[in-house]
Chain A
Amino acid sequence: MLTSFMSYLGSTMTPGQAGNQLWALIYVLIIFAGVSVAVICMNWIERKALAHFQIRLGPMRVGPHGLMQPFADALKLMLKEDIIPAEADQFVFWVAPLIGLLAAFTVYTVIPFGPSQAVSDMNIGILFMLGVSSLGVLGIVVAGWASNSHYPLMGALRSSAQMVSYEVAMGLAVVSAVLLTSLHGIGIYGVTGNGDTGTLSMIGIVQAQQEQHVWFIFKFFPLGLIAFVIFAIAMVAEVNRAPFDLAEAESELTAGFHTEYSGLRWSLFMLAEYAAMIAVSSIAVTLWLGGWVRPFPNLLQGTAWDFIFSLFPGLTFLGLAGVALLGTVRMPSHSFFKIQKIGLGVFGMLLGSLALLLLVIAIAGRSADMSLAARFNEGIGYVYWFVLKVAVFMYLFIWYRATWPRYRFDQLMSVGWKVLLPISLGVLMLTAVVGVLVK
């Protein structure tokens, strides 16, 4: 076991490719923990950002600047009474949140955080991802059905109609990105590649962008951009977020599909929703924004630039630590705030030491040899740029929610079928034609 553990360390493959179940398990656990932490962070950031959009402060009481609020909420939800309505279908009611959660988390097995930083590199990665992430809707539909109540049922029906109208446009947009992967070594990009065959593997798609020296969002401008925008719209509908949050439309259906849910089950739905948001953002990043590739890998080449970009993770955490410490200084000096002040200070220190650790790794691993520190540094870089790109999408989700009213059921369908579908079909065909012509 130890040999199997150690043997993988020098590998440049994903655990799945290497056939190393132990490391695959470790990756799964790391990703599960990481996504859970990301959901907690997202919860706090959404409440704070939304609050600041809306000229209020958001959580301020539980911990400094409400930093402990997600934990307090999680605790509260876990301690709440577990209610299953008497008329509900008990088993289905019980299993529904799990379907959503499993679907949301299973997707992460193929998300490439780096060329080898993924559980597995499936050769049908993108298909697997689309398929499994659509299963999340099943959880919602089943939840609405099992609740045996009017509002949840309507939420469930809305959700299924929504999925039908958006999956198609989403799929076509994805296909046009997949088409681009078959353009290795052709046209103005002049890179040698492996011929005409495209790939469905998530890692392969990013590598195709690397080899063609362009993010697919800029490829065949504006075709890549349009396909990306269609995906970006459809993915909001896919995860039921504003302005497409019809399934849970608070002002219409009280809470839609999760009206009858409370406590831990409800929190599982929320966990699934946020995990799904991160997952679909990851698809968008992988397909159009170069995945783990850092900005300008070809323009700003060389070890010096590599070193500068490898400092970014450390500097980001240093910045966060700076914000936290600034908050500590600015905290009112009244004794009421003493504990909060200490807490925020300690939090800032933690972030600061994390930043220092990252900087030390960046400096230690700056040589391009294959030492452990260098490989570690490289991996951190991949994950950092991937997460940063995903974070932009997460912010957009909050921004949408603060800005737009909710679409109506029929309008959402007409946008899906009458606008997005024809455009994505057109983009797909044009991409194909242009691809052939360029060749």
Chain B
Amino acid sequence: MSSPVNDKTLPNAVSNLDLEAPDKPYLDSNELIINMGPQHPATHGVLRVILKLDGEKVLGTECVIGYLHRGVEKIAENRTYTMFNPYVDRMDYCAAVSNGLGYCEAVEKLMNVEAPARAQYIRVILTELNRIASHQLWLGTHALDIGAMTPLFYTFRDREEILKIFEKYCGARLTTHAFRIGGCQYETYAGFEKDVTNFLTFFAPKIDEYETLLTTNRIWLERTKNVGVISAKDAIALGVTGPVLRASGVKWDIRKALPYANYSKFDFEIPIGTNGDTYDRYLVRMMEMRQSMRIIEQAVGGIPEGPIMGKVPKVIKPPVGEIYHSIEAPKGELGYFIVSDGSTQPYRVRVRPPSFVNLQALDIMVRGALVADVVAVIGTIDIVLGEVDR
């Protein structure tokens, strides 16, 4: 009898796990090669991880991506700058506002225009709300992966309040397309500030509620402490950014390091961890939610009057040149590299998606760990396959 899964059907491109095993007797004691995904409850979409196992111990992993590839970057070359704007929302669909902000700012930088102050404030408020929403989604699914079912529903209940604000602002809940090149399309609706302030008062006790469920939960601690450890050196070497990098103790947040929008006007801290394990990443994200609330609180009190769109021509034709602009998306550094040939369509758009780069760290984090840790680590990296595969 042959081995239950025919390992030889795997493409040669993914062979650094030494998958070319000779015909083995049925259920021998060699390493087990197992496909986690693309259809798996805990791979957050269609990620396929090929695991090489010794019993439950992980000897190596191989990520196979591309199941959600839609050619977003190529699409950009056949769209005008304005037409491409909604596409970026579909990359990290959990943080569509951040994606839009990064793209709009990159094009603005290319055209050398700036969004007016009022638009900047609205952008910051919505982006930070989106950061909270993204972290809520992460927390719920991450806890579900580790086996705690209940936090998911709590986070979804509270995320709903943010989505309601988005819906009232621009009509969409998830893929918001909230910003336009040069500012915002929509003026804030009557009661926007009140809604946001209400959300802040509503949400402050809810974070405590999540923390009551998990932060000191003995099983949660055992499942997350010293799991998926990545050192600061390794994290930097692999280009890891965002909360994953900060949990390893590196104080790198683009909002502070290379301020964009008007983040330099707000007073907030960059939470960092020490051990670089799953628990630290959890704590960092929890603290980030609180910091986001601080930023929103400051921003919502100081929205200036004025126009919401800068002086942008009807037809966007940036001068010949290239630009790289990056922002701190909820998952890490989100960069846009845009090459313009002076026409209405970009010559080339390249996106640096945080999930894609952070996913590289999976192998280093789970080597030597157990199968159960793999799902914990996939959860803690906080990937969105729409962004990984683009």
Contacts and interface: CB of A to CB of B under 8 A. Distances in A.
Interface of A: 50, 53-56, 87, 148-151, 153-154, 157-158, 242-243, 245-246, 249-254, 401-411
B307 interface: no
Contacts of B152: 54
Interface of B: 1, 4-5, 27, 32, 34, 40-42, 55-56, 143-150, 152-154, 157, 213-214, 217, 219-220, 222-223, 370-375
Contacts of B143: 405
Contacts of B220: 405
B148 A254 contact: no
20 contacts: A53-B150, A55-B154, A246-B372, A249-B372, A251-B41, A251-B144, A251-B145, A251-B146, A254-B40, A402-B150, A403-B213, A404-B219, A405-B146, A405-B223, A406-B146, A406-B147, A407-B147, A407-B222, A409-B56, A411-B222
Contact of B148 (A148, A151, A405, A408): A405
A191 B146 CA distance: 51
B148 A252 contact: no
A407 B4 CA distance: 28
Contacts of B27: 153
A202 to B, nearest CB: 33
Contacts of A153: 27
Contacts of B55: 157
Given A150-B4, A251-B42, A406 B150 contact: no
A403 B150 contact: yes
Contacts of A242: 147
A186 B152 CA distance: 54
Nearest to B147: A406
A227 to B, nearest CB: 21
A54 B153 contact: yes
Contacts of B145: 251
A150 B53 CA distance: 11
B375 A251 contact: yes
Given A54-B152, A148-B4, A242-B147, 5 more contacts: A55-B154, A158-B56, A251-B375, A252-B374, A407-B222
A245 B214 CA distance: 19
A94 to B, nearest CB: 18
A404 B5 contact: no
A234 B214 CA distance: 23
A162 B240 CA distance: 37
Contacts of B213: 403
A146 to B, nearest CB: 12
Given A252-B42, A254-B40, A409 B147 contact: no
A404 B217 contact: yes
